[in-house]
Amino acid sequence: MPETIARADPAQESEPAVRRRGLRLLALVLAAIGAIVVFSVLSVLIGSRAIEPRVVWEALTAFDATHDAHLTIRLLRLPRTALVLLVGAALGVAGALMQAMTRNPLAEPGLLGVNAGASAAVATGVLVTGLARVEVYLWFAFAGAAVAAVAVYALGGALQHASNPVRLVLAGAALSVVLGSYTSAILVNFPHVFDSFRFWDTGSFQGRDGTVLPSVSVAIAVGLLLAVAIAPDLNALAMGAELGRTLGASPRRTWLLAGIAVVLLAGAATAAAGPIGFIGLTAPIVGRALVGPDHRRLIPFCALVAAVLLLAADILGRAVAVPSELQASIVSAAIGAPVFIWLVRRRRVPTL
Protein backbone atom coordinates (compact mmCIF):
# COMPACT_ATOMS: atom_id res chain seq x y z
CA MET A 1 0.00 0.00 0.00
CA PRO A 2 2.73 2.56 0.83
CA GLU A 3 4.36 1.80 -2.50
CA THR A 4 1.10 2.58 -4.33
CA ILE A 5 0.84 5.99 -2.70
CA ALA A 6 4.50 6.67 -3.26
CA ARG A 7 4.13 6.10 -6.97
CA ALA A 8 1.19 8.51 -6.96
CA ASP A 9 3.32 11.28 -5.38
CA PRO A 10 4.34 13.75 -8.11
CA ALA A 11 7.32 14.88 -6.01
CA GLN A 12 9.00 11.52 -6.63
CA GLU A 13 8.49 11.56 -10.41
CA SER A 14 10.55 13.18 -13.13
CA GLU A 15 9.37 16.45 -14.62
CA PRO A 16 8.29 14.93 -17.96
CA ALA A 17 6.30 12.24 -16.12
CA VAL A 18 4.60 14.87 -13.98
CA ARG A 19 3.79 16.88 -17.11
CA ARG A 20 2.34 13.84 -18.86
CA ARG A 21 0.29 12.98 -15.79
CA GLY A 22 -1.03 16.51 -15.59
CA LEU A 23 -1.97 16.62 -19.28
CA ARG A 24 -3.70 13.24 -19.02
CA LEU A 25 -5.66 14.37 -15.98
CA LEU A 26 -6.65 17.59 -17.72
CA ALA A 27 -7.83 15.64 -20.77
CA LEU A 28 -9.90 13.29 -18.59
CA VAL A 29 -11.50 16.16 -16.68
CA LEU A 30 -12.32 18.03 -19.90
CA ALA A 31 -13.79 14.84 -21.37
CA ALA A 32 -15.97 14.34 -18.28
CA ILE A 33 -17.12 17.97 -18.35
CA GLY A 34 -17.84 17.66 -22.07
CA ALA A 35 -19.92 14.54 -21.40
CA ILE A 36 -21.85 16.41 -18.71
CA VAL A 37 -22.60 19.25 -21.12
CA VAL A 38 -23.75 16.88 -23.87
CA PHE A 39 -25.91 14.79 -21.55
CA SER A 40 -27.36 17.92 -19.94
CA VAL A 41 -28.52 19.13 -23.35
CA LEU A 42 -30.02 15.72 -24.09
CA SER A 43 -31.71 15.71 -20.68
CA VAL A 44 -33.49 18.94 -21.52
CA LEU A 45 -34.48 17.76 -24.99
CA ILE A 46 -35.68 14.22 -24.14
CA GLY A 47 -38.81 13.48 -22.17
CA SER A 48 -42.43 12.42 -22.51
CA ARG A 49 -42.44 14.71 -25.52
CA ALA A 50 -39.46 15.82 -27.56
CA ILE A 51 -38.63 19.53 -27.59
CA GLU A 52 -36.75 21.11 -30.46
CA PRO A 53 -33.36 22.72 -29.68
CA ARG A 54 -34.70 26.03 -31.03
CA VAL A 55 -37.48 26.02 -28.43
CA VAL A 56 -34.99 25.24 -25.67
CA TRP A 57 -32.84 28.19 -26.70
CA GLU A 58 -35.87 30.46 -26.75
CA ALA A 59 -36.88 29.27 -23.28
CA LEU A 60 -33.44 30.23 -21.99
CA THR A 61 -33.06 33.55 -23.77
CA ALA A 62 -36.64 34.78 -24.32
CA PHE A 63 -38.80 33.04 -21.75
CA ASP A 64 -42.55 33.15 -22.39
CA ALA A 65 -44.64 32.18 -19.36
CA THR A 66 -47.60 31.39 -21.62
CA HIS A 67 -45.65 28.83 -23.66
CA ASP A 68 -46.09 25.26 -22.40
CA ALA A 69 -42.71 24.07 -23.64
CA HIS A 70 -40.94 27.03 -22.02
CA LEU A 71 -42.61 26.23 -18.69
CA THR A 72 -41.65 22.56 -19.00
CA ILE A 73 -38.02 23.46 -19.63
CA ARG A 74 -37.71 26.12 -16.92
CA LEU A 75 -39.78 24.49 -14.17
CA LEU A 76 -39.15 20.77 -14.75
CA ARG A 77 -36.34 19.72 -17.04
CA LEU A 78 -33.63 22.19 -16.05
CA PRO A 79 -34.15 21.66 -12.27
CA ARG A 80 -34.33 17.90 -12.82
CA THR A 81 -31.05 17.92 -14.74
CA ALA A 82 -29.36 19.95 -12.00
CA LEU A 83 -30.71 17.59 -9.33
CA VAL A 84 -29.47 14.50 -11.20
CA LEU A 85 -25.99 16.01 -11.44
CA LEU A 86 -25.95 16.88 -7.73
CA VAL A 87 -27.22 13.47 -6.62
CA GLY A 88 -24.78 11.66 -8.90
CA ALA A 89 -21.82 13.66 -7.61
CA ALA A 90 -22.93 13.05 -4.02
CA LEU A 91 -23.24 9.28 -4.48
CA GLY A 92 -19.92 9.01 -6.30
CA VAL A 93 -17.99 10.88 -3.63
CA ALA A 94 -19.80 9.06 -0.82
CA GLY A 95 -18.74 5.76 -2.39
CA ALA A 96 -15.13 6.91 -2.72
CA LEU A 97 -15.07 7.99 0.94
CA MET A 98 -16.59 4.74 2.17
CA GLN A 99 -14.10 2.72 0.16
CA ALA A 100 -11.24 4.78 1.58
CA MET A 101 -12.50 4.46 5.15
CA THR A 102 -13.01 0.71 4.95
CA ARG A 103 -10.26 -0.13 2.42
CA ASN A 104 -12.91 -2.13 0.68
CA PRO A 105 -13.66 -1.72 -3.07
CA LEU A 106 -17.17 -3.14 -2.50
CA ALA A 107 -18.18 -0.34 -0.15
CA GLU A 108 -20.89 2.07 -1.29
CA PRO A 109 -23.99 3.55 0.38
CA GLY A 110 -26.42 1.08 -1.21
CA LEU A 111 -24.44 -2.07 -0.47
CA LEU A 112 -23.53 -1.11 3.09
CA GLY A 113 -27.03 -0.27 4.28
CA VAL A 114 -26.77 3.53 4.37
CA ASN A 115 -29.51 3.94 1.78
CA ALA A 116 -31.66 1.37 3.61
CA GLY A 117 -31.21 3.35 6.82
CA ALA A 118 -32.25 6.56 5.10
CA SER A 119 -35.28 4.80 3.57
CA ALA A 120 -36.40 3.38 6.90
CA ALA A 121 -36.05 6.77 8.54
CA VAL A 122 -38.01 8.49 5.75
CA ALA A 123 -40.85 5.97 6.11
CA THR A 124 -40.83 6.63 9.86
CA GLY A 125 -40.85 10.37 9.22
CA VAL A 126 -43.86 10.16 6.93
CA LEU A 127 -45.64 8.02 9.53
CA VAL A 128 -44.87 10.36 12.43
CA THR A 129 -45.38 13.72 10.74
CA GLY A 130 -47.91 12.79 8.06
CA LEU A 131 -45.94 14.96 5.65
CA ALA A 132 -44.05 13.89 2.52
CA ARG A 133 -42.19 17.12 1.70
CA VAL A 134 -38.45 16.87 1.16
CA GLU A 135 -37.87 19.68 3.69
CA VAL A 136 -39.33 17.39 6.37
CA TYR A 137 -37.97 13.97 5.54
CA LEU A 138 -34.50 15.25 4.62
CA TRP A 139 -33.62 15.32 8.31
CA PHE A 140 -35.01 11.84 8.84
CA ALA A 141 -32.86 10.63 5.94
CA PHE A 142 -29.76 12.15 7.54
CA ALA A 143 -30.51 10.47 10.87
CA GLY A 144 -31.20 7.09 9.26
CA ALA A 145 -28.04 7.25 7.15
CA ALA A 146 -25.94 8.12 10.21
CA VAL A 147 -27.33 5.30 12.36
CA ALA A 148 -26.92 2.77 9.56
CA ALA A 149 -23.34 3.85 8.84
CA VAL A 150 -22.30 3.58 12.49
CA ALA A 151 -23.98 0.17 12.84
CA VAL A 152 -22.32 -1.27 9.73
CA TYR A 153 -18.88 0.05 10.65
CA ALA A 154 -19.21 -1.40 14.16
CA LEU A 155 -20.51 -4.80 13.03
CA GLY A 156 -18.02 -5.07 10.18
CA GLY A 157 -15.01 -3.93 12.18
CA ALA A 158 -14.26 -1.17 9.68
CA LEU A 159 -12.78 1.10 12.35
CA GLN A 160 -10.23 -1.51 13.39
CA HIS A 161 -6.73 -1.59 11.94
CA ALA A 162 -7.53 -4.59 9.73
CA SER A 163 -11.15 -4.82 8.68
CA ASN A 164 -12.54 -7.81 6.84
CA PRO A 165 -14.17 -6.73 3.53
CA VAL A 166 -16.43 -9.79 3.42
CA ARG A 167 -17.57 -9.21 6.99
CA LEU A 168 -18.33 -5.59 6.20
CA VAL A 169 -20.42 -6.45 3.14
CA LEU A 170 -22.26 -9.15 5.10
CA ALA A 171 -22.99 -6.66 7.88
CA GLY A 172 -24.36 -4.20 5.32
CA ALA A 173 -26.48 -6.87 3.67
CA ALA A 174 -27.87 -8.06 7.02
CA LEU A 175 -28.68 -4.53 8.13
CA SER A 176 -30.33 -3.79 4.79
CA VAL A 177 -32.58 -6.84 5.23
CA VAL A 178 -33.55 -5.81 8.76
CA LEU A 179 -34.24 -2.21 7.78
CA GLY A 180 -36.08 -3.32 4.65
CA SER A 181 -38.33 -5.53 6.75
CA TYR A 182 -39.00 -2.66 9.13
CA THR A 183 -39.87 -0.35 6.24
CA SER A 184 -42.14 -2.98 4.69
CA ALA A 185 -43.96 -3.45 8.00
CA ILE A 186 -44.72 0.27 8.13
CA LEU A 187 -45.94 0.35 4.54
CA VAL A 188 -48.17 -2.71 4.95
CA ASN A 189 -49.78 -1.56 8.18
CA PHE A 190 -50.17 2.12 7.30
CA PRO A 191 -51.56 2.52 3.75
CA HIS A 192 -51.40 6.31 3.87
CA VAL A 193 -47.63 6.07 4.37
CA PHE A 194 -47.37 3.74 1.37
CA ASP A 195 -49.24 6.21 -0.85
CA SER A 196 -46.69 8.93 -0.08
CA PHE A 197 -43.63 6.70 0.17
CA ARG A 198 -43.97 4.65 -3.01
CA PHE A 199 -43.30 7.57 -5.36
CA TRP A 200 -40.07 8.32 -3.52
CA ASP A 201 -38.92 4.73 -2.96
CA THR A 202 -38.66 3.90 -6.68
CA GLY A 203 -35.40 5.84 -6.95
CA SER A 204 -36.58 8.14 -9.70
CA PHE A 205 -36.33 11.80 -10.63
CA GLN A 206 -39.79 11.86 -12.17
CA GLY A 207 -41.79 14.79 -10.87
CA ARG A 208 -38.83 16.39 -9.07
CA ASP A 209 -38.82 20.14 -9.60
CA GLY A 210 -36.91 23.16 -8.37
CA THR A 211 -38.40 23.03 -4.87
CA VAL A 212 -36.15 20.06 -4.05
CA LEU A 213 -32.87 21.76 -4.98
CA PRO A 214 -32.48 24.30 -2.13
CA SER A 215 -33.01 21.67 0.55
CA VAL A 216 -30.39 19.23 -0.70
CA SER A 217 -27.84 21.43 -2.49
CA VAL A 218 -26.48 22.94 0.74
CA ALA A 219 -26.00 19.54 2.39
CA ILE A 220 -24.35 18.10 -0.72
CA ALA A 221 -22.09 21.15 -1.11
CA VAL A 222 -20.91 20.87 2.51
CA GLY A 223 -20.31 17.14 2.08
CA LEU A 224 -18.29 17.67 -1.10
CA LEU A 225 -16.18 20.39 0.52
CA LEU A 226 -15.47 18.14 3.51
CA ALA A 227 -14.44 15.31 1.21
CA VAL A 228 -12.02 17.52 -0.73
CA ALA A 229 -10.61 18.98 2.50
CA ILE A 230 -9.70 15.59 4.01
CA ALA A 231 -8.32 14.11 0.77
CA PRO A 232 -4.63 14.63 1.79
CA ASP A 233 -5.29 12.94 5.14
CA LEU A 234 -6.96 10.01 3.39
CA ASN A 235 -3.80 9.60 1.32
CA ALA A 236 -1.65 9.59 4.44
CA LEU A 237 -3.86 7.10 6.30
CA ALA A 238 -3.96 4.80 3.27
CA MET A 239 -0.37 3.92 4.21
CA GLY A 240 -1.45 2.85 7.69
CA ALA A 241 -2.58 4.63 10.84
CA GLU A 242 0.88 4.84 12.42
CA LEU A 243 2.61 6.20 9.34
CA GLY A 244 -0.36 8.48 8.74
CA ARG A 245 0.09 10.00 12.20
CA THR A 246 3.76 10.71 11.48
CA LEU A 247 2.62 12.60 8.38
CA GLY A 248 0.28 14.75 10.47
CA ALA A 249 -3.02 13.00 9.80
CA SER A 250 -5.30 12.22 12.74
CA PRO A 251 -7.17 8.95 12.11
CA ARG A 252 -9.98 9.77 14.52
CA ARG A 253 -10.56 13.26 13.14
CA THR A 254 -10.30 12.09 9.52
CA TRP A 255 -12.73 9.18 9.96
CA LEU A 256 -15.14 11.43 11.84
CA LEU A 257 -15.12 14.07 9.09
CA ALA A 258 -15.37 11.39 6.41
CA GLY A 259 -18.34 9.84 8.22
CA ILE A 260 -20.07 13.21 8.46
CA ALA A 261 -19.46 13.80 4.75
CA VAL A 262 -20.90 10.37 3.85
CA VAL A 263 -24.01 11.01 5.95
CA LEU A 264 -24.54 14.43 4.36
CA LEU A 265 -23.96 13.17 0.82
CA ALA A 266 -25.81 9.84 0.99
CA GLY A 267 -28.59 11.24 3.18
CA ALA A 268 -29.27 14.23 0.94
CA ALA A 269 -29.05 12.17 -2.26
CA THR A 270 -31.40 9.51 -0.94
CA ALA A 271 -33.82 12.08 0.42
CA ALA A 272 -33.94 13.87 -2.94
CA ALA A 273 -34.25 10.92 -5.30
CA GLY A 274 -34.89 7.79 -3.27
CA PRO A 275 -32.54 4.80 -3.00
CA ILE A 276 -30.19 4.58 -5.99
CA GLY A 277 -27.55 1.87 -5.90
CA PHE A 278 -24.30 1.04 -7.71
CA ILE A 279 -23.39 4.61 -8.72
CA GLY A 280 -21.26 4.92 -5.59
CA LEU A 281 -19.66 1.58 -6.40
CA THR A 282 -18.95 2.11 -10.08
CA ALA A 283 -17.67 5.70 -10.11
CA PRO A 284 -14.70 5.13 -7.73
CA ILE A 285 -13.68 2.00 -9.64
CA VAL A 286 -13.66 3.94 -12.90
CA GLY A 287 -11.94 6.87 -11.19
CA ARG A 288 -9.10 4.80 -9.75
CA ALA A 289 -8.57 3.10 -13.11
CA LEU A 290 -8.25 6.47 -14.86
CA VAL A 291 -6.61 8.88 -12.38
CA GLY A 292 -5.06 6.59 -9.77
CA PRO A 293 -5.48 6.25 -5.99
CA ASP A 294 -4.55 9.82 -4.99
CA HIS A 295 -7.72 11.10 -3.30
CA ARG A 296 -6.88 14.71 -4.17
CA ARG A 297 -7.58 13.75 -7.79
CA LEU A 298 -9.89 10.81 -7.22
CA ILE A 299 -12.61 12.54 -5.19
CA PRO A 300 -13.31 15.41 -7.63
CA PHE A 301 -13.06 13.04 -10.59
CA CYS A 302 -15.50 10.59 -8.95
CA ALA A 303 -17.99 13.44 -8.65
CA LEU A 304 -17.74 14.07 -12.41
CA VAL A 305 -17.89 10.38 -13.39
CA ALA A 306 -20.87 9.66 -11.12
CA ALA A 307 -22.73 12.71 -12.42
CA VAL A 308 -22.21 11.48 -15.99
CA LEU A 309 -23.30 7.92 -15.13
CA LEU A 310 -26.47 8.94 -13.31
CA LEU A 311 -27.46 11.53 -15.90
CA ALA A 312 -26.94 8.93 -18.64
CA ALA A 313 -29.07 6.45 -16.67
CA ASP A 314 -31.83 9.02 -16.22
CA ILE A 315 -31.84 9.92 -19.93
CA LEU A 316 -31.81 6.26 -20.98
CA GLY A 317 -34.71 5.54 -18.65
CA ARG A 318 -36.74 8.26 -20.33
CA ALA A 319 -35.74 7.28 -23.86
CA VAL A 320 -36.58 3.55 -23.69
CA ALA A 321 -40.12 3.91 -22.33
CA VAL A 322 -41.59 6.99 -24.02
CA PRO A 323 -44.09 8.45 -23.12
CA SER A 324 -43.54 6.81 -19.72
CA GLU A 325 -40.10 6.31 -18.17
CA LEU A 326 -37.95 3.70 -16.46
CA GLN A 327 -36.66 4.64 -13.01
CA ALA A 328 -33.06 5.81 -12.84
CA SER A 329 -32.37 3.32 -10.04
CA ILE A 330 -33.23 0.40 -12.36
CA VAL A 331 -31.01 1.67 -15.17
CA SER A 332 -28.13 2.44 -12.79
CA ALA A 333 -28.40 -1.08 -11.38
CA ALA A 334 -28.19 -2.47 -14.90
CA ILE A 335 -24.98 -0.47 -15.36
CA GLY A 336 -23.42 -1.15 -11.96
CA ALA A 337 -24.48 -4.74 -11.29
CA PRO A 338 -22.08 -6.26 -13.87
CA VAL A 339 -19.21 -4.36 -12.25
CA PHE A 340 -20.19 -5.68 -8.82
CA ILE A 341 -20.49 -9.25 -10.13
CA TRP A 342 -17.06 -8.98 -11.73
CA LEU A 343 -15.57 -7.86 -8.42
CA VAL A 344 -17.09 -10.56 -6.24
CA ARG A 345 -16.18 -13.31 -8.75
CA ARG A 346 -12.50 -12.48 -8.57
CA ARG A 347 -10.37 -14.94 -6.67
CA ARG A 348 -9.37 -12.34 -4.13
CA VAL A 349 -11.32 -9.28 -3.02
CA PRO A 350 -8.75 -6.46 -3.06
CA THR A 351 -8.41 -4.01 -0.19
CA LEU A 352 -7.55 -0.37 -0.61
Q: Under a CB-based contact definition with an 8 Å cutoff, are residues 80 and 106 in contact?
A: no
At residue 197, the 3 state secondary structure works out as helix
Query: Is 352 a residue whose pLDDT tops 60?
Result: no
Average pLDDT, the chain: 82
Residue 171 burial (CB count, 10 A): 21
Residues 6+ away with beta carbon under 8 Å from 305: 32, 92, 283, 286, 287
pLDDT value of residue 17: 76
pLDDT grade for 349, boundaries at 50, 70 and 90: very low
Query: Is 61 a residue whose pLDDT tops 60?
Result: yes
Query: Is 231 a residue whose pLDDT tops 60?
Result: yes
Question: Domain segments of the chain: what residues?
Answer: 83-344
Of 37, 39, 38, the C-alpha closest to 318 is 39
For residue 191, how many C-alpha atoms fall within 13 Å in the half-sphere facing its CB? 0
Residues 6+ away with beta carbon under 8 Å from 215: 134, 135, 138, 271, 272
pLDDT digits (tens, 9 = 90+) for 293-316: 999 999 999 999 999 999 999 999
pLDDT grade for 245, boundaries at 50, 70 and 90: confident
Q: What number is the average pLDDT over the span 30-51?
A: 91
Q: What is this structure's pTM?
A: 0.85
Residue 213 CA, chain-centre distance (Å), reads 16
Q: Which of 24-28, 74-78, 139-143, 338-342 has the lowest mean pLDDT?
A: 338-342
Query: Is 78 a residue whose pLDDT tops 70?
Result: yes
Q: Domain 83-344, what architecture?
A: Orthogonal Bundle (1.10)
pLDDT value of residue 81: 93
* Amino acid in position 8: A
Who wins on pLDDT, 304 or 132?
304
Query: Is 288 a residue whose pLDDT tops 70?
Result: yes
Angle at 308 between CA 313 and CA 56, to 5 degrees: 80
pLDDT grade for 36, boundaries at 50, 70 and 90: very high
> In degrees rounded to 5, what are phi and psi of residue 221?
-60, -45
Who wins on pLDDT, 336 or 246?
246
C-alpha–C-alpha distance, residues 225 and 340, integer Å: 28
pLDDT value of residue 256: 82
